[in-house]
Each structure stands twice: as structure tokens, then as C-alpha cells.
Structure 1
């Protein structure tokens, strides 16, 4: 079922328009506004339903007089944190913070309690301190944005366990990632004690949430690095592209390729959640329903890539640019046939094509849920674009997810000559918090 936001703020199944005429937004593919709303809460709406119980819709808190627009609320509380199985929002900020000198477990717990309370309120479109503009240092920059499908997701780095005397509780899977042959890592923009992922449909809501969390951390933790990313907002694409992206969850990256086609679908197939979320009787109580996230900043060498013939770019990836279909044939969602050959006997998917080396079949079934965003940070000192992908991958265990896949890609991936891995971090993400609890409570008070 596709959840659709109507002008009145109600929800219904697709096919029931609930629209009044005369919007001026109709086109050859049908009502553009309806496509935008399907993109907003379509396949990703299912993910949000799974992540928090429901997507609530309304008229949009703070909307301008006379303007009617949908407002999506992704519930903060639930068995696992929002922002993992939730559909990817178009605006995101990723940040790592380091605990300050003298920060003990009690102060860390107070910070997580404050973060939880602020995130819960902001996810409903409310001021973070429960007051109006100016309350507790809030500037009101997000007033009028509404809930904007805002999510804030929190994680813990390995260093936090050392600093808080919780070494015995540190899971083995949080061990440092191994070095890979194509790494060009900047230590200042890697690692961290605390992780924050903020996503939203509105850029002001997203940056406001990040600034709020940073402000609440003053005196307890300092920001180590921040990375900001984007993807196409719902409704910004053509009708055809919007329908495809809403149905598949894919998006185009700055190389022009559809990204995320082979992602698992844990919102639709609960059995796949065991590959993404930490489950089982052996999981620590604080980590049950949680996950591990790998964050990599991958710069794309666009000046070189853009000068390549289309067929070269497609062969390096293993998919067509136009529709994301594998070169072995079919449509975007057709399973890749790694055994297919062209009429001349040459493999349809090259031996070093990205999708061959990353395929679960060639990596003992290794699976990750990728929710990356593009970034463009201007030019580097040499005049080349500082642009690429913020790779965000969720898995139940990085030792059986990210690590084997990256080992296979490292040094052999055809895309490797056009990318550089500049930053890397791994965090354990606690399970969700019930109402009245804060994220990480079972670890920090256990």
C-alpha cells in the first residue's frame, strides 16, 4: 500500500485522489502534487511505518496563511531508532562529537536525555525546549518548517566506552575497521565518540536540529566533524522519475548513476531486518533493535569521470545510466545475471564492475542497507570539485557486512580509479527508546 498525504491532511490508499481541481499543477503524467506526495510517503512511508509505528500527516505547523501542504511526522519513539529504516530524506547532516575532559557517565547520560527530549519535540515540529522562539537559546530558524519528516539518530563510537569506563560493555563488532588499500583517510574527519544523523524534508529543519544538538552538547562534548548532504527532494523530478524513485528508493548520485538499487527492503520483508538490526538472545539489552553504521566520505573525481564515454561509465558500474538496469538485461529491479554473456562471449558484467564485486553472491551473502547522500563542497585548492557521496551503511555486524565487501572492492573496483575514500567511522547505534526513556539509557545506567 502507498500512503498518500491529501490536501486535507488525511491519508488514504493510492488511487483515491481526494484532490480538488484547479491546482495548476497537472501535467502529462497526472497531478504533479499527487506524485510529490507519493514520493514523500510512498515506499519510504512503509519504512517509516516500520521504523516508528506510523507516519502522521497534517496541515503543516507554521504554514503560511492560505497555504496547504502536507506535514509528515516520523515518530521518535519505537523499538528501533528512526533514521535507519526510514526513507531517505533529501537533506541530511552527519556529525561526530568527542566527549570533553571530565565528562563522566552521569554527564553523558544527561546529554543523551537532553538530546532525546529535543529530538522528540523537533520531530513533531515543536521548539526543542518546549517553548517558542528564543527559548533556551533557540533562534526560531525552523519556525514554519513543520515536522518535515525530521529524524535524529544517535550512535556510540568505540572511544566512548573507554572514556566512560564501559570497556566491558563494548561489543566486539565495534572493533576498528581494517585498513583498505584505497583509503586516503583524514584522521580529523574520521572516528568520534558520539554520532548524530539528522535527516529532514526541509533544509532549515535539518540544520536547526543539528545546531540544537550541538548547543545542548556544549561543555560535555565538542564537535569533531560535520558532513552535509542532499538528494532530490520529493516532487522535484519529472513524473516518471519521481514515480520510479518513490517505488524503488533509489536516487541519482553525482556520477549520474542510480544508487541503492540492490538495497535490501527490510520495511517490506521483516526477515531482512535481521541483516540490518541487531537481534537475537545474545544481543546486549542496550543494543537490541539497534544497528551498526559505517560512514565514509567518498570523493568522486568528476572532472575525469565526466570526460568518459557513456559505455565506459556503464561498464565500470555494470548498469545503464538511463534507467539503472543491469547490463545483463531487464529493468532496474531485474536481478543481476553475473553469468550472462554478450553475443561475442564477453561477460555482460565486467570482471571488475562495481555491482559484480559488491554483489552478495560474491561476498558470502554480505548485506548492508545503504542510505547515502551526495555532497558538493565547492572546489579544492587544486581547482577540482570537492564532491561525492556520503556513504552511510547500516548492518547487524560490520564484520559480515561492510568489511568483506569493502575488502573485495578495494584495489579491484573499476570505480576505484574515479573515487577516493577520505573519511571513515564506525558506530554502534542503540535500540530505540520507549516514551519516558532516552536513547542509550540501558547502557549508561546498566
Structure 2
């Protein structure tokens, strides 16, 4: 009889299912699960009974769970985890709407199971994350504009191609894609396992177009600052919109009566790979770096005074009459106050992929921004940054993608994109 990866009673040579490991960890306490007293490595012990792996008790970090089901997809408003794997897929030739429906059902079921630390259904598990908990795993799915002709559907107007920006140096082979998947967790093995599982489940229906991995600060590594630092050493993300803001939902999510209807509760994700010219940046004095950004490098406080969370005073002047926050400082050019209120929810992860042929680090930021409409969020801000941001000379935008991220799956049994694919 073939092995059923969902059978919680199965204790084959691969050991316990992930769910049983989690259950055992919860009942065994810090000592873990004992599997037979006096077990040893001698021939007699090996011959007595088949070996069954002991479960390792999970830490609070490993046991943390983010629900897959909800009004919005997970991986948008939740606090950033320490690891990211982002992947774009293209449908295989001949895969149309029925094939994509089947794929999204498989992917959604697997994502829901893995978010709970359970063995994903539909295939034999590779056991890479066998003794791991969910570690705050989130899986977020998006649709690129190129997939809509393949499924005989009309793309949302908000998925219109992003304009070309003056500083772009885009590699189209590492941009765009029919489908976009963002996997985040606080354990690198968990993110690898989840993405590898999704890739295996896509066999015959979709193939990988590109994949990128990033990292952020590990939870608990330091108490302050709470905001992450990028590879330029700058605190990054201080002015992100907060779910407690009165305008948060309107800025980040498509309204219930939005157009198209199937995007209600969804968002639009802009994904950019931004290489940092770290050799040039590191040659600048700390004072120069702070003036480029508009914040103190150590504390993240704006140059207009206060602490990291103090609102920037764009009118404040130095004793000599110059602006405390320079006219081309990054935070001045990017602020919603200077962009007619345009705002987006940023989730940025650092990456370092070794060194280029010229010896420079291939490193920077994997930038994801969620918004209700990129034409009123990302586009106007990026246009202004391209025209007058002092940071522009130290970065290169090397890949780009825009994706419609549908609303969440409210209850078990549904799947991401169901309202689109069954319309």
C-alpha cells in the first residue's frame, strides 16, 4: 500500500509525521520524547526494534504559528520573519485555467498544512523540516499580468506594466512571471522546505522563472532597535504604515466593492531587487551617509531631532539656515507628505549572493511593497525618487515584478484565487 503523507498514525522508516512530532514536543516538555529506555547503538539494540526518531521539544520561536486562513493572505501585515524565499513561476505550455485551478488548490492546501506544522498533503514529504515547527511560516501568492491571457481572463487595470524609471537596469529574465510566491519564516530550513514543497507540487503545471532568498534580523537577537537594518547599516522601515492607522486598510487593501470584485481584500505587490553599491557607500563618511538618508545611522532618529519614531520636521533649519533634512535626503523625497499621501507597506529583506566579476559585492535589498493600487502607491513615489533622491547614486534596480495578491481564504476547503478562477 502506498504511503499516505497525511496519515498521522504512520510510523514508517521515515519516522513520525510533523504533526506527531509537534504533538510529542508539546507533551514531552524540554526533555523531548523518549523512544525506548536504554536504547543504544550496538547490534543487539538495532535488531530489537525499528529505529524511530525522537521528537525534539520546540522552542517558543519554533512553535509560533500564523494562521493561513483569514480575510487577507498571511505574509502582508504580520511582523517580518527572519528569512524570505521569493519565487516566480511560469505556467508550462498548454496549462490553462483548469490546470491553474488544480495547482492553486494543491498549493493552498499545502500552505495551510505547513503553517500549522503539519505534513503537506499531496506528495511524500522530503523530511527536511521533520523536527521543525511552523516558525511563523507564511506563504503569499500573487498573479502576474502575463498569466491572464493564458487563463482567458482580463487582468486588473492596476496590473498595467510599471513605467520605466531612469535608474532601472532590469534583467527581464529575473523579473515578472505568471505566478509569484513569497515564503517567510523564522527558520531557514522551514522556508526552504516550504518552497521546495510548492515547487514539487507545481510539476507539470508551472516551472520556476527565478528565485531569490533574503534575510533580516533574527527575533530576539537584540531588544533595540525593533526596526531592521539594511546592508548600508541604516535602520529601514521606520515610517511604514501601521495596521492601527485609520487609513491603513484603504492604502494597503482593495476595498470590498473594488474593481475587479475578485480582488476584494487583496493587495498589489511590487517586488524589486535593488543592488547596493556598498564599496562606494562605505567610502562615504558617516556624516555624509546620514545626510543622504536624513537619519542618524546609529539611532535612526531624523536629522531634524528626536528619536527613531519622532515625526520628521521637514521645515527645521540648522544654525546656518540650511535644512536639517536636506532637500534630496531619501526620507524627504519618499515621505507621503511630499507625494500627495502616497504610501505602501514595505517588507524589505537583505541579500548577499557573493561577489560580481568586478569584485564588488552582489548584495542589497529584496524590496516588497504592498498597496491597494500601485498607480497611487509605488509609482508616484518611485518617480520622485528617480528624479531627486541622493540615495540613487548608491543603488541599482536590477529586477522588478508587479503582482495581484488576492484576498485570503476565509475557511478551510477554499483556495487562493478561487473568486477569479471560478468566475
- Normalised to the residue count of structure 1, the TM-score between the two structures is 0.81
Quick check: 1:63–1:146 contact (8 Å CA) kept in 2?
Answer: no
What residue is the counterpart of 1:436 in the other structure?
413
User: In structure 1, which of residues 317, 326, 342 is the aligned counterpart of residue 302 of structure 2?
Assistant: 326
Residue 179 of structure 2 is aligned to residue 194 of structure 1: yes
Q: Deviations over 1:374-407 (max 9, x none)?
A: 0000001111100000010000000000000000
Residue 240 of structure 2 is aligned to residue 263 of structure 1: yes
What residue is the counterpart of 1:37 in the other structure?
none
Quick check: 2:267–2:407 contact (8 Å CA) kept in 1?
Answer: yes
Distance 1:143 1:61 in 2: 17
Q: Deviations over 1:56-99 (max 9, x none)?
A: x9966999844451111100000010001111000011111111
What residue is the counterpart of 1:6 in the other structure?
none
What does 1:103-118 correspond to in 2, within 5 Å? 103-118=95-110
What residue is the counterpart of 1:43 in the other structure?
none
Secondary structure of the 1:110 match is helix
Secondary structure of the 2:193 match is helix
Q: Deviations over 1:306-353 (max 9, x none)?
A: 111000000000000011000000000111111111010000111111
What residue is the counterpart of 2:59 in the other structure?
69
What is the RMSD computed on CA atoms of the aligned residues?
1.7
Query: How has the CA–CA distance of structure 1 residues 411 and 58 changed in structure 2, closer, same or farther, with 3 Å as cutoff?
Result: farther
User: In structure 2, which of residues 218, 223, 228 is the aligned counterpart of residue 233 of structure 1?
Assistant: 218
Secondary structure of the 1:410 match is helix
Secondary structure of the 1:259 match is coil
Distance 1:395 1:342 in 2: 35
Quick check: 1:63–1:145 contact (8 Å CA) kept in 2?
Answer: no
Return 424-433 or 407-416, whichever deviates more.
407-416
User: In structure 2, which of residues 315, 323, 333 is the aligned counterpart of residue 347 of structure 1?
Assistant: 323
What residue is the counterpart of 2:365 in the other structure?
389
Secondary structure of the 2:317 match is coil
Query: How has the CA–CA distance of structure 1 residues 60 and 189 changed in structure 2, closer, same or farther, with 3 Å as cutoff?
Result: farther
Larger radius of gyration: 2
Query: How has the CA–CA distance of structure 1 residues 62 and 342 changed in structure 2, closer, same or farther, with 3 Å as cutoff?
Result: farther
How big is the shift at 1:440?
A: 0.3
Distance 1:360 1:122 in 2: 37
Quick check: 1:61–1:145 contact (8 Å CA) kept in 2?
Answer: no
Q: Deviations over 1:80-139 (max 9, x none)?
A: 100011110000111111111000100100000000000000000111127xxxxx2421
What residue is the counterpart of 2:390 in the other structure?
414
Return 405-414 or 152-161, whichever deviates more.
405-414
Quick check: 2:258–2:264 contact (8 Å CA) kept in 1?
Answer: no
Distance 2:330 2:340 in 1: 16
Query: How has the CA–CA distance of structure 1 residues 352 and 61 changed in structure 2, closer, same or farther, with 3 Å as cutoff?
Result: farther
Quick check: 1:182–1:410 contact (8 Å CA) kept in 2?
Answer: yes
Distance 1:209 1:280 in 2: 31
Aligned length: 374
Query: How has the CA–CA distance of structure 1 residues 159 and 205 changed in structure 2, closer, same or farther, with 3 Å as cutoff?
Result: same
How big is the shift at 1:272?
A: 1.1
Secondary structure of the 2:304 match is coil
What residue is the counterpart of 2:336 in the other structure?
360
Secondary structure of the 2:326 match is coil
- The answer for unaligned runs of 5 or more in structure 2 is 1-22, 33-56
Quick check: 2:81–2:136 contact (8 Å CA) kept in 1?
Answer: yes
Quick check: 1:79–1:431 contact (8 Å CA) kept in 2?
Answer: yes
Secondary structure of the 1:415 match is helix
What residue is the counterpart of 1:293 in the other structure?
269
Distance 2:193 2:29 in 1: 17
How big is the shift at 1:284?
A: 2.7
What residue is the counterpart of 2:87 in the other structure?
95
What residue is the counterpart of 2:117 in the other structure?
125
Query: How has the CA–CA distance of structure 1 residues 414 and 260 changed in structure 2, closer, same or farther, with 3 Å as cutoff?
Result: same
Distance 2:124 2:168 in 1: 40
User: In structure 1, which of residues 343, 346, 370 is the aligned counterpart of residue 346 of structure 2?
Assistant: 370
Quick check: 1:366–1:404 contact (8 Å CA) kept in 2?
Answer: yes
Secondary structure of the 2:399 match is strand
Query: How has the CA–CA distance of structure 1 residues 421 and 106 changed in structure 2, closer, same or farther, with 3 Å as cutoff?
Result: same
User: In structure 1, which of residues 278, 283, 290 is the aligned counterpart of residue 259 of structure 2?
Assistant: 283
